[in-house]
Amino acid sequence: MSHDRAAVRERAEAVLRRLAGDHARLREDQWRAIEALVVDRRRVLCVQRTGWGKSAVYFVATALLREHGEHGPTVIVSPLLALMRNQVEAAARAGIRARTINSANLDEWDEITAEIQTGAVDVLLISPERLNNPDFRDGVLPKLAATTGLLVVDEAHCVSDWGHDFRPDYRRLRTFLAELPERTPVLATTATANARVTQDVAEQLGDALVLRGTLDRESLRLGVLDLPSPAHRLAWLADHLDQLPGSGIVYTLTVAAAGETAEFLRSRGYPVASYTGQVEDADRRAAEQDLLDNKIKALVATSALGMGFDKPDLGFVVHLGAPPSPIAYYQQVGRAGRAVEHAEVLLLPGAEDAAIWRYFASLAFPPEQQVRAVLAALHTDRPLSTQALEPLVDLRRARLELMLKVLDVDGAVRRVRGGWLATGEPWVYDEARLRRVAEARTVEQQAMREYATTSDCRMRYLRERLDDTGATDCGRCDRCADPLFSGDVSTAALAAAQTFLGRPGVEIAPKKLWPTGLDAVGVPLKGRIAPAEQALPGRAVGRLSDLGWGGRLRDLVGPEAPDAPVPDDVAGAVVEVLKAWAHGDDPWPRRPVAVVAVGSRRRPRLVGSLAERIAAVGRLPILGEVTPTGLGGPGGPRGNSAQRVRALHDTFTVSADLADAVAALDGPVLLVDDLIDSGWTMTLVARALRRAGAPDVLPLALAVAG
């Protein structure tokens, strides 16, 4: 057997050279993993830093298994299409035939399935979401599981709800694992897992060999710059981005911040692109390629640029705002410096970070009452789609979909063609575990605050938070050595950033469609909103997530904000918005001739004073306000659009006097409110005014949520 193992290692080294070049040699833990998979047919969990070579393990193992007569393909469950594209190209270099099944190549599924059955595919890459696609789950997965030669679970920390990037679809792997033939080798890999996540994943794999390496990254120089405002942070980037080596990534916490940062840097002459979940896939791919080809200095990205992006010579990672956990931060900074001697990693934390963390934490698994309501609604003879569930359940769509995936994995519901059905299986709401996970998140957030302020080695701090027992001082970070960068910003850059962020004004797109399924809950609205009942495009001073106006607006309309008259600076910003609206590139079709306020229960002084200031400046009459009747009015945002419309429908009544006044107008009404969250209050009040005879309605608000 020892001779056999030596021969296997010799072949493994040969395959690696074919994959990575003549200089390549297997690391000791790479060989241990390959040996366990190929010779012992074991399950292995590799927790190794980014760039260690986890993909080499499964490509080499695949080649050896095929040489040894294994006819079934290696199945790699991978979270991102970008990673799949990279892996297909890497496999080809090693002479390994790789294919992928995903939502972008539906027309190739039959062809690929046939190739698998004839043994023509060495590696098949699929997304975790594919595991629960009804057609794939029922038609492809059983045969695939029975013939798999090696199962690879990439980014395996996603299996654990203790991890920073838990994805319920990954829990489908339990089913896949259970259906594998005995002694089918399994490899799970991740670069970001602390001891708790590692234990959780290992337990789900079963009897697994855990290979955990050092998390030190010798090329990274970590630093933190504590700057007083978003304008200072943008100004710092404008002054220093060209001093950072090569090309890199600037991470932001929100989509709005990514867009603003990219726009400002372009205005200062930098070639940059933004990358968020709201950017079209083709544009994201083009931006990725531009960064890979060093055609741009930086991608300004949210966490959407996550697992799977591979640029070994990435020279820097800058964070405008801290991620909510050391694990997430380590994973993102680990993209830099994999094939260069030095890479710069800088964190520029913001006072607003904690509020953003709280928002994302609010999207966690819902309370039991809401979950039970969903289960009750799904005890039907026909499946219900997510859209059909929304009028029945007070949850936003993203949160509802996440909950359904968890319930599916737990066996309480099942995804079928046309939607979801309850299985009738008993299900227990694990409140204790959810509470422990929430508490762990709080601890992680505090750890990120401490990372920013620690007087000790920053790399050591991160490694210890990830339970790396070999953590030592790095000798490179701004605590171990003299910092390379100061927080100084030039007067010109700061003035430019303040001017840029001080520009008020965002467009409010009018609603044109009613939410699906309202008729099922007794609301007679469906399809398109009649053009004669729609509002025109509107304006707001800014978004609550904006780098510039966001903080100021949160002080006025946030949940804890007191009701008070509109401050002079904000009233001045409203006037600037109105001027730009009248004379800008996309002006209103006609000047408003009167002002109407949305009656506010929470902030009547704010909304009332705003209407008065606008009327005085524009020399317009205030015709009154439209106030909700009954209990369904705006006492705070509901969970989703269907719930919001259901709650607000028929609660806004235009008085006879106001109806007569708006019907007599020869131009639009300016409809004023403090905050637009779902947008349905403004839509329904505008509809009521249009039905009362208003020629047009121009919505104006201080802030837009999001």
Of 112, 29, 28, 96, the closest CA to residue 60 belongs to 96
94 assigned to some structural domain: yes
162 and 17 share one domain: yes
Final residue of a structural domain among 156, 180, 212: 212
pLDDT of residue 118: 81
Q: Do the Cβ atoms of 648 and 619 come closer than 8 Å?
A: no
Mean pLDDT along residues 589-611: 94
Instruction: Convert the pLDDT of each residue in 404-420 to its tens digit.
Output: 988 988 889 998 888 99
CA torsion through residues 290, 293, 298, 304, sign:
positive
Asked whether residue 368 is assigned to any structural domain, the reply reads yes
Domain match, 546 and 691 both: yes
**What DSSP string runs through 167-191?**
-GGGGGHHHHHHHSPTT--EEEEES
Read off the pLDDT of residues 204-254 as tens digits, 9 standing for 90 and up. 888 899 999 888 889 999 999 999 999 999 999 999 999 999 999 999 999
State whether 485 and 426 are in the same domain: no
Count of structural domains, the chain: 4
> Which residues are CB-neighbours of 81 under 8 A, at least 6 positions away?
100, 102, 104, 127, 281
In a domain, 228, yes or no: yes
Amino acid at 598: V
List pLDDT tens digits, range 659-701. Answer: 999 999 999 999 999 999 989 999 999 999 999 999 999 999 9
CATH number at residue 460: 3.40.50.300
Q: Are 300 and 241 in contact (CB under 8 A)?
A: no
pLDDT at 633: 44
pLDDT for 635 equals 44
- Has residue 439 been placed in a domain? no
One domain, residues 224 and 144: no
pLDDT digits (tens, 9 = 90+) for 32-86: 999 999 999 999 999 998 778 888 899 899 989 988 877 788 998 887 655 666 6
Residues 420, 301 share a domain: no
Residue 438, in any domain of the structure? no
Give me the chain's average pLDDT, please.
Answer: 89
398: which residues sit within 8 A by CB, 6+ positions away?
Answer: 363
Residues 6+ apart with CB under 8 A from 580: 505
Position 349 pLDDT exceeds 90 = yes
End residue of a domain, out of 381, 398, 432: 432
Note whether residue 251 is domain-resident: yes
- Check whether residue 609 and residue 528 sit in a common domain: yes
Q: For the residues 505-526, what does the mean pLDDT come to?
A: 90
Reported as a single tens digit per residue, the pLDDT across 103-137 is 667 788 788 888 887 888 888 888 888 887 777 77
457 and 418 share one domain? no
**What region does 217 belong to: left with phi over 0, alpha with psi -120 to 50, or beta?**
beta
Instruction: State yes or no: pLDDT of 151 exceeds 90.
Output: yes
* Residue 516's CATH number: 3.40.50
List the single range of 367-371, 592-596, 683-687 with lowest mean pLDDT. 367-371
Same domain, 256 and 199: no
Domain assignment present for residue 497? The answer is no
CA quadruple 259, 260, 266, 272: dihedral, nearest 10: -40
- Residues 561 and 587 both lie in one domain: yes
Closest CA to 607 of 616, 593, 596: 596
pLDDT of residue 539: 97
Looking at the structure, do residues 628 and 545 belong to the same domain, yes or no? Answer: yes
Verify that 561 and 700 share a domain, yes or no: yes
Window from 287-301, 343-357, 358-372, 438-452 with minimum mean pLDDT: 358-372
- For residue 634, the model assigns a pLDDT of 45
Mean pLDDT of the region 593-608? 94
* Domain with 367 in it: 360-432
Q: What's the confidence (pLDDT) of residue 320?
A: 97
The runs of H, that is alpha helices, within 188-273 are 195-205, 230-240, 255-267
Within a domain: residue 338?
Answer: yes
Measure the CA–CA gap between 655 and 665, rounded to whole angstroms: 16
Q: Are residues 324 and 465 in the same domain?
A: yes
Burial class (CB in 10 A: 0-12, 13-18, 19+), 485: middle
Whether 308 has a pLDDT exceeding 90, the answer reads no
pLDDT of residue 636: 45
More confident residue, 367 or 87: 367
Handedness of CA 117, 119, 121, 123 (dihedral sign): positive
CA distances to 60, 370, 374, 419 from 392, in Å: 51, 10, 8, 15
CA dihedral 230, 231, 232, 236 (to 10 degrees): 100
